């Protein structure tokens, strides 16, 4: 990997929520929504964070934004002036000067824009709040942002309801870019959009990434979308990181059985592709009461005795390829767009794709 | 060819709003044969869910079926036109839920939270008893209950004896959808309508539900109308595909034809614009220009013409293309193939 310095270094992040019962709201347990998650994001890189609902991907994103306070762990951020700051323990006041540097793109383009503000005011609001620009300067900046995301500056006086879903998402992106952030956290930015519009917004993000050298944490459940936009991909399961590698490596040669199963479960838009006949049994474990040993063992087709007892550690099995599995070395799993599995025992059958698309 | 179990002919459902008229479904035709899975695919506002509601006669005002026929084949008797039946009449109530069953998108909203899921299935079984079992003694509550337990077992619900008494909010998303499938299949319907049955579910659970539906379909030979916006799901589930856009059928054909030899520019563009796990990463995707028009501001002529890369000037904006054959079993409504076949205004 290149020597580009990291921008964000998340170390042993934990966030747990209390479970309360009864009339006096007594705490009877805790849900470890994020359970010892560590990763870094380099400058200019896009890290995709995937997982199913309840895996903690959104909680992780919110902790980084400090929309919530982590239970423990460090969130090291390299600020614009070169200082390395741990965001985790900072107070609201101390966070404020850093806020313009970390911005967010929301999932729902309908509820994330104030219906009573003109879209020009919405995009200009971060500039106003942080005292970055005012008056004509602000209007000019907002106009430039509109053009950058593919909207006309004549539309600045309009209100959100006058825009389609895709256009609204562009407005959300323009707002996130207004403060020229160093890190953008995008939580499911295209999942609420129609297929024909989703491609436009993905293209816009790809373009901005290259042109503005944007660093992006891209949270999503759609593997195809994540693969399309990310340099590296992190997979979460029940609050833990189970695999982290470059997008190419993780899709071609997943090393964790869950990652492989997740990929296989995605229906491929080709009637000749084999349909997921070997669907993963069971359901996602309850994070309030996770199973002993490896959290994935009750659903894992390769489970052994050790998996039931001992929780596996996240370890590096190849350069830059982290995986949390006892059997990572011996299993040969096939991903997508890969050559057929070289058969050994217990091979997960491949998607059998020859890379042909329609 | 067999007699279709369902024939939708030139169906029109319009919504009479204060702001104006919305032609949610505007001339939709397709057939569903016994044992066939027909996928209806389209983006938001294409009319796929309204079509489903029209088949079940549950279109809510200000919507109304203003034209067309929905012919449903019961036994050997002549087909019934569902649009002629009053939504509340006994004949339709006997069909709905028993002969035509629905798997809704959000089972949480479809199940009553104050009755156990088992009680709701038992109710359906007893209510529709004469449809699925024309003769024999009346079904007792305990018989219906043991049938429900069997149904739960057949849709892969573990501990069915206990789950029968569970409330919908006690079940996980996957289990809830399985219970919904059990309910839909309880009266052995001739036709099953699945309206985005896996949209609210996670991907590994979705794979399980799709497998279950495929297996049940194979075992019982039920005809299914499968409505979704997910082209991947359609490719894996359907035999025959209907592509809709703004209330009209753009193209229909076998799943192979639609995915490997699409004729309509909309189908072609739609297929190209999905990021697939097989496409080279971090490259720009081909897109469809513009966005889906507002329901009240729909373009005249072919609904797709303002976004169509192949639009013929002076033709596509003027007239509405009719759905005509472009192959033995493939139809498209596009002037590129039938320059003179327009729908009468």
Same domain, A125 and A225: yes
More confident site: A274 or B321: B321
Same domain, A164 and A279: no
What is the full per-residue pLDDT of chain B (345 aa) written as tens digits?
Answer: 678 999 999 999 999 988 888 899 999 999 999 999 999 998 888 898 899 999 999 998 889 999 999 999 887 778 888 888 888 888 888 888 888 999 988 878 889 999 999 999 999 988 888 777 777 788 888 889 999 999 998 888 888 888 899 998 888 888 888 899 999 988 888 899 999 888 777 888 888 888 888 888 888 889 999 999 889 899 989 999 999 999 999 999 999 999 999 999 999 999 988 877 667 777 888 888 887 888 888 888 899 999 999 989 888 988 899 999 998 889 999 999 988 888 876
State which residues form the domain around A179.
6-21+29-236
Residues of chain B in contact with residue A276, where contact means CB-CB under 8 angstroms, are: 207, 210-211, 236
Same domain, A197 and A306: no
Among the candidates A206, A236, A266, a domain finishes at A236
Residues of chain B in contact with residue A281, where contact means CB-CB under 8 angstroms, are: 208
Same domain, A266 and A125: no
Which helix (H) or strand (E) segment holds residue A264: the answer is helix A257-265
Residue B17 placed within a domain: no
A276 pLDDT band (50/70/90 cuts)? Answer: low
- Establish whether the linkage from the previous residue to A262 is cis, with ω within 30° of 0: no
Residue B340 placed within a domain: no
Please state the rounded mean pLDDT for residues A62-78. 94
Same domain, A265 and A150: no
Q: How many domains, in total, are found in chain B?
A: 2
Angstroms from B193 CA to nearest CA on chain A? 20
Same domain, A212 and A294: no
Among the candidates B149, B170, B188, a domain finishes at B188
State the first-to-last Cα distance of chain B, in angstroms, to the nearest integer.
Answer: 32
Which helix (H) or strand (E) segment holds residue A19: the answer is strand A6-21
pLDDT in tens, A129-151: 999 988 999 999 999 999 989 88
Going by C-beta distance under 8 Å and a sequence separation of 6 or more, which residues neighbour residue B187?
Answer: B97, B98, B99, B101, B124, B125, B128, B131, B132
Residue B54 placed within a domain: no
Q: What whole-number distance in Å separates Cα of residue A60 and Cα of residue A234?
A: 12
Residue A333 placed within a domain: no
Same domain, A83 and A219: yes
Same domain, A102 and A180: yes
State which residues form the domain around B287.
255-332
Choose among A202, A266, A337: nearest Cβ to B203: A266
Same domain, A147 and A266: no
Angstroms from B191 CA to nearest CA on chain A? 23
Same domain, A217 and A258: no
Choose among B205, B277, B294: nearest Cβ to A266: B277
Residue A339 placed within a domain: no
Among the candidates B131, B155, B188, a domain finishes at B188
Same domain, A308 and A168: no
Residue B261 placed within a domain: yes
Residue A129 placed within a domain: yes
Residue A43 placed within a domain: yes
Q: How many domains, in total, are found in chain A?
A: 2
Residue B51 placed within a domain: no
Among the candidates B140, B162, B188, a domain finishes at B188
Residue A135 placed within a domain: yes
Same domain, A204 and A83: yes
Strands B37-41 and B223-228: parallel
Extract the tokens encoding A193.
Answer: 């959009």
Extract the tokens encoding B294.
Answer: 């507002």
Q: Are A166 and B291 a contacting pair at CB < 8 A?
A: yes
Angstroms from A224 CA to nearest CA on chain B? 5
Residue B174 placed within a domain: yes
Assess: ipTM above 0.90: no
């Amino acid at each position: 990997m290149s020597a580009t310095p990291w921008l964000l270094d998340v170390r042993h992040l934990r966030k747990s929520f209390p479970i309360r019962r009864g009339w006096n709201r007594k705490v009877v347990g805790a849900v470890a929504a994020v359970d010892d998650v560590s990763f870094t994001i380099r400058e200019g890189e896009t890290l995709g964070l995937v997982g199913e609902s309840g895996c903690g991907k959104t909680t992780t994103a919110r902790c980084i934004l400090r929309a919530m306070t982590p239970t423990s762990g460090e969130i090291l951020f390299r600020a614009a002036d070169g200082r390395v700051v741990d965001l985790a323990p900072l107070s609201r006041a101390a966070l404020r000067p850093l806020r313009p540097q970390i911005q967010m793109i929301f999932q729902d383009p309908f509820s994330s824009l104030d219906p009573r503000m003109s879209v020009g005011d919405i995009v200009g609001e971060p500039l106003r709040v942080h005292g970055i620009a005012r008056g004509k300067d602000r209007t000019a900046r907002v106009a430039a942002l509109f053009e950058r995301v593919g909207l006309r500056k004549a539309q600045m006086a309009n209100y959100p309801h006058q825009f389609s879903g895709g256009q609204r998402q562009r407005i959300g992106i323009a707002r996130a870019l207004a403060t020229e952030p160093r890190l953008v956290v995008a939580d499911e930015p295209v999942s609420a959009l129609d297929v024909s519009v989703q491609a436009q917004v993905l293209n816009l993000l790809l373009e901005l990434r290259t042109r503005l050298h944007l660093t992006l944490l891209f949270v999503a459940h759609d593997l195809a979308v994540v693969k399309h936009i990310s340099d590296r991909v992190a997979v979460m399961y029940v609050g833990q990181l189970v695999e982290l590698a470059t997008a190419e490596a993780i899709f071609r040669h997943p090393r964790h059985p869950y990652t492989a199963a997740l990929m296989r479960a995605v229906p491929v838009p080709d009637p000749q592709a084999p349909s997921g006949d070997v669907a993963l049994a069971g359901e996602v474990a309850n994070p309030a009461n996770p199973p002993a040993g490896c959290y994935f063992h009750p659903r894992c087709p390769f489970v052994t005795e050790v998996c039931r007892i001992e929780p596996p550690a996240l370890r590096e099995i190849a350069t830059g390829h982290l995986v949390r599995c006892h059997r990572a070395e011996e299993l040969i799993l096939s991903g997508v767009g890969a050559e057929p599995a070289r058969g050994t025992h217990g091979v997960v059958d491949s998607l059998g794709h020859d890379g042909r698309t329609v | 060819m067999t007699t279709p179990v369902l024939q939708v002919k030139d169906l029109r459902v319009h919504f009479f709003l204060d702001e104006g008229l919305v032609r949610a479904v505007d001339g939709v035709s397709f057939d569903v044969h016994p044992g066939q899975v027909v996928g209806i695919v389209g983006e938001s506002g294409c009319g796929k869910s309204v079509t489903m509601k029209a088949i079940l006669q549950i279109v809510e005002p200000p919507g109304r079926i203003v034209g067309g026929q929905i012919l449903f084949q019961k036994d050997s008797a002549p087909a019934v036109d569902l649009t002629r039946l009053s939504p509340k009449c006994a004949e339709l109530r006997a069909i709905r839920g028993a002969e035509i069953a629905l798997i809704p998108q959000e089972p949480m909203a479809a199940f009553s939270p104050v009755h156990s899921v088992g009680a709701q299935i038992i109710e359906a079984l007893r209510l529709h008893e004469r449809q699925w079992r024309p003769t024999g003694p009346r079904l007792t509550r305990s018989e219906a209950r043991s049938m429900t337990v069997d149904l739960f077992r057949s849709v892969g619900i573990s501990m069915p004896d206990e789950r029968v008494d569970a409330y919908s909010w006690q079940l996980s998303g996957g289990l809830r959808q399985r219970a919904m499938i059990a309910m839909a299949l309880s009266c052995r319907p001739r036709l099953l309508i699945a309206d985005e049955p896996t949209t609210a579910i996670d991907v590994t659970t979705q794979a399980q539900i799709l497998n279950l539906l495929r297996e049940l379909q194979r075992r019982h030979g039920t005809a299914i109308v499968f409505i979704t916006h997910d082209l991947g799901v359609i490719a894996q589930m359907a035999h025959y595909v209907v592509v809709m856009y703004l209330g009209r059928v753009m193209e229909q054909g076998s799943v192979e034809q639609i995915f490997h030899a699409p004729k309509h520019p909309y189908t072609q563009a739609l297929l190209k614009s999905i990021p697939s796990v097989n496409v080279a990463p971090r490259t720009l995707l081909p897109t469809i220009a513009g966005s889906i028009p507002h329901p009240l501001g729909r373009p005249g002529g072919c609904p797709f013409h303002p976004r169509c890369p192949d639009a013929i000037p002076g033709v596509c904006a003027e007239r509405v293309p009719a759905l005509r054959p472009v192959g033995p079993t493939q139809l498209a409504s596009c002037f590129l193939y039938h320059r003179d076949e327009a729908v009468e205004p």
